[in-house]
């Protein structure tokens, strides 16, 4: 029996097809991977299945019945559950409240909390998904939050589970645990649709794979009949260079040195403790770690966006502890921020204004505060050409660009200034494969030209292929360091999950 069957599903946003006549079916009881690059249309497709988006045309069948889904409530009623890429959880509510909302056990409108907690506890035992029912969601780990998400679906008796990029935030070990849970769910008869852009995971977990590219379906194959190279070709449409060409480097002078840095985030309670490292010219230092272990704090402390309590940051032989953001930038800092939409650009500004951001007081773009738009536009044309920025209209605003082009805009702006230290945080997050390749090449080029680069990334493959040295960060502490080739992926995973020897540093 087919749990889900889609025929010729089409969905347009503006003038672009997110989904273009997609046929897609999932057998009951299988784990089916939906594979594709960022922007291939995977999320849109499953949001249509879950009733979050309305299809423009096409037909949806659930358990062989044609259905019309006006909202998630209709999908939930047909026992479809979804675990979203960005968790749909409210930090200020408890785990139980997050799970039961919308289907609360209650009498006369009043919630029966005891009954609710009992139900949640039973479910968590039945599927081996450990959670503390009365904790606030804002205070639990990412792994636990994901378990809450799965429980939300199970609480609503979901038989078909959709997981949208569930591994993006997990360590390799947590991923393994998730896969065990999925196997168990499959055994109890559930159908699972698993969205990912990672080939390795697909091969590990799926019975069948459907590949999307540019809003169209490329094909469906049995996992046992295919291999990663073939999947990659289907996904990208051409041969992909999965390896970056990184030659031996010649490190030069010390550019950045951080010693005994201590910082406490008063809001989240997370601390950076005794951070020590240095980067030389012509070196890429990677920071590995599960998201939320202090990477953002480290990034923003170095960039001057947060003030820290103790220690020294030395950039180009100057202590910059009390330097403002502006002074740091003058002293050689280029910053590619991890959250490009929040920090990196102004969505309503056009390209020229976004490119001059941060240099708007400097010659030749301004003369005593009076802006010189001739120079600014000339600069824009240069960057557009040099970094191959693609945009549709002549006066496009940054919000209209694709993720890859937004990132190129930021990188172009930062690298065009006279700097020798690049703070690159999540430089390839949410951009397509073509842009990833381009950005990787660019970073290597910068390194070979003698810049010092601090690479903070959640992508282990990226870190391993670009970095000369790696640091592993866990709960705000550096728990291991060494040259990249000394770590296996397995070891890195364990270190990121906090399995390290107390007392001494590993490797």
Partner 1 sequence: MSKYKNILNSILAIIFALFVGAVLIKISGHSVKEAYYYLFYGAFGTSYNFAQTLLMTTPLIFTGLAVAIGFQSGLFNIGGEGQLYWGAFVTAIIAIKFTLLPGYLLIFIALLGGALAGGLWAAFPGYLKAKTGAHEVITTIMFNYIGILATTFLLKRYFKADGPVDQTVMLTKKARLPELITNTRLTWAIIIGIIVVFLVDQLLKRTAIGFDLKVVGENIFAAEYAGIKTGKYTILAMIISGAVAGLAGGTIVLGVLHRFITNFSPGYGFTGIAVAVLGRNKPWGVLLAAFLFGALEAGGMAMQLFADIPSDLMEIVQGLVILFVAAPAIFEIIFPVIKKNRGVESNV
Partner 2 sequence: MSEIIEVIFSINTFTAAIRMATPIAMAAIGGVFSERSGIINIGLEGMILTGAFAAVVGSFFTGSPWLGLLAAILAGSLLGLLFAFFTIKFKADHVVAGVGLNILALGITTWLMQVVWGQKGASPEVNGLPEITLPILNKIPILGDLLAFHSPIVYIMFVTVFLSWLLLFKTSLGLRIRMTGEHPEAADTLGINVYFMQYFSVTLSGALAGMGGAYLSLGQLSWFSSNMSAGRGYMALAANIFGQWNPIGAFAASFLFSFSDAVQMRLQGINLNLASELIQMIPYLLTVIVLAGAVVKSKPPAALGEHYEVGK
Select from 303, 316, 491, 506 the one that contacts partner 1 (CB under 8 A): 303
Q: Least CB distance from residue 441 to partner 1, whole Å? A: 25
Beta bridge partners of 488: none
Q: Is the dihedral of CA 202, 204, 205, 206 positive or negative?
A: positive
Nearer to partner 2, 107 or 502 (CB): 107
- Residue 116 DSSP label: H
**Separation in Å, CA 2 to CA 6, 33, 54, 241, 485:** 10, 15, 22, 37, 46
Quick check: 398 and 345 in contact, CB under 8 A?
yes
Judged by beta carbon distances under 5 to 8 A according to partner kind, the member of partner 1, partner 2, none in contact with residue 238 is none
| Residue with tokens 């557009």, as numbered in its chain | 384
Query: Is 337 a binder of partner 1 (CB under 8 A)?
Result: yes
- The only residue of 38, 171, 223, 353 in contact with partner 1, by rule CB under 8 A: 353
Among 358, 430, 434, 450, binds partner 1 (CB under 8 A): 358
Distance CA 275, CA 478 (A): 7
Among 64, 360, 386, 489, binds partner 1 (CB under 8 A): 360
Tell me 211's DSSP state.
Answer: E
Contact partner, 335, from partner 1, partner 2, none, Cβ < 5-8 Å per class: partner 1
List, in sequence order, every residue forming a beta bridge with 453; answer none if it has no partner: 284, 422
> Binds 104, which of partner 2, partner 1, none (CB < 5 to 8 A, cut-off by type)?
partner 2
Among 366, 377, 403, 507, binds partner 1 (CB under 8 A): 366
Q: Which is nearer to partner 1, 111 or 357 (CB)?
A: 357
Q: If contact means CB under 5 to 8 A according to the sort of partner, which of partner 2, partner 1, none does residue 391 touch?
A: none
357 binds, among partner 2, partner 1, none (CB under 5 to 8 A by kind): partner 1
Question: Out of 66, 103, 319, 346, which residue is the one contacting partner 1 (CB under 8 A)?
Answer: 346
Question: Residue 337 binds what, of partner 2, partner 1, none (CB under 5 to 8 Å, by partner type)?
Answer: partner 1
Tokens coding 395:
């006066």
Which residues are at the interface with partner 2 (CB under 8 A)? 13, 50-54, 70-73, 76-77, 82, 84, 88-93, 97-98, 100-104, 106, 109-111, 152
Nearer to partner 2, 70 or 243 (CB): 70
Chain CA centroid to CA 140, Å: 19
Binding to partner 1 by residue 345, rule CB under 8 A? yes
Distance CA 24, CA 19 (A): 11
CA 234 to chain centre: 22
The answer to whether 3 and 62 are in contact (CB under 8 A) is: yes
Would you give the distance in Å from CA 411 to the centre of its chain?
18
168 with 88: CB under 8 angstroms?
A: no
By CB under 8 A, residue 344 contacts partner 1: yes
Stretch that binds partner 1, among 56-64, 290-298, 324-332, 400-408 (CB under 8 A): 324-332
Q: Which two tokens stand for residue 82?
A: 């979804």
Give which of partner 2, partner 1, none residue 127 binds (C-beta under 5 to 8 Å, depending on kind). none
Distance CA 264, CA 238 (A): 47
DSSP, residue by residue, 183-208: HHHHHTT-EEEEEES-HHHHHHH-SE
User: Which residues 368-397 are close enough to bind partner 1 by CB under 8 A?
Assistant: 369-371
- Sites of contact with partner 1 (CB under 8 A): 303-305, 324-326, 328-329, 335, 337, 339, 342-349, 353, 356-358, 360-361, 366, 369-371
């Amino acid at each position: 029996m087919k749990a889900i069957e889609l025929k010729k599903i089409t969905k347009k946003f503006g003038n672009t097809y997110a989904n273009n006549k997609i046929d897609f079916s999932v057998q009951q009881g299988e784990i089916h991977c939906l594979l594709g690059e960022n922007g291939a249309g995977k999320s849109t497709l499953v949001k249509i299945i879950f009733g979050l988006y309305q299809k423009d045309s096409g037909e949806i069948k659930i358990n062989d019945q044609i259905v019309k889904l006006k909202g998630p409530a209709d999908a939930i009623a047909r026992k479809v559950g979804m675990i979203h890429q960005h968790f749909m959880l409210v930090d200020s509510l408890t785990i139980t409240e997050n799970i039961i909302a919308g289907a609360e056990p209650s009498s006369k409108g009043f919630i029966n909390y005891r009954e609710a907690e009992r139900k949640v506890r039973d479910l968590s035992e039945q599927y081996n998904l450990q959670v503390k029912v009365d904790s606030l969601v804002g205070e639990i780990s990412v792994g636990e939050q994901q378990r809450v998400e799965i429980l939300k679906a199970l609480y609503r008796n979901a038989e078909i589970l959709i997981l949208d990029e569930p591994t993006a935030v997990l360590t390799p070990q947590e991923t393994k645990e998730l896969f065990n849970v999925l196997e168990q769910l499959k055994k109890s008869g559930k159908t699972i649709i698993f969205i990912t852009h990672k080939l390795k995971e697909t091969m590990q977990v799926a019975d069948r794979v459907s590949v999307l590219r540019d809003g169209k379906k490329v094909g469906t194959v049995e996992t046992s009949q295919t291999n990663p190279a073939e999947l990659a070709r289907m996904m990208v449409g051409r041969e992909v260079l999965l390896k970056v060409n990184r030659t031996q480097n010649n490190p030069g002078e010390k550019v950045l040195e951080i010693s005994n840095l201590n910082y406490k985030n008063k809001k989240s309670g997370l601390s950076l403790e005794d951070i020590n490292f240095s980067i030389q010219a012509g070196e890429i230092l990677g920071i590995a770690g599960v998201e939320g272990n202090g990477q953002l704090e480290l990034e923003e402390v170095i960039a001057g966006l947060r003030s820290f309590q103790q220690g020294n940051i030395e950039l180009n032989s100057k202590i910059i502890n009390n330097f403002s953001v502006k002074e740091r930038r003058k002293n050689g800092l280029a910053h590619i921020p991890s959250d490009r939409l929040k920090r990196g650009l102004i969505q309503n500004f056009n390209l020229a204004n976004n490119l001059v951001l941060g240099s708007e007081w400097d010659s030749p773009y301004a003369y005593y505060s009076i802006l010189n738009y001739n120079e600014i536009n000339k600069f824009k044309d240069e960057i557009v050409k040099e970094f191959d920025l693609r945009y549709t209209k002549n006066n496009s605003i940054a919000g209209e660009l694709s993720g890859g082009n937004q990132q190129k805009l930021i990188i172009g702006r930062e690298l065009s200034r006279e700097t020798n230290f690049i703070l690159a945080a999540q430089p390839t997050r949410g951009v397509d494969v073509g842009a990833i390749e381009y950005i990787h090449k660019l970073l290597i080029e910068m390194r070979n030209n003698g810049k010092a680069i601090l690479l903070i990334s959640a992508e282990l493959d990226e870190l391993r292929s670009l970095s000369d040295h790696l640091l592993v960060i866990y709960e705000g502490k550096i728990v291991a360091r060494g040259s990249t080739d000394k770590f296996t992926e397995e070891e890195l995973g364990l270190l990121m999950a906090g399995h390290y020897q107390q007392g001494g540093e590993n490797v």
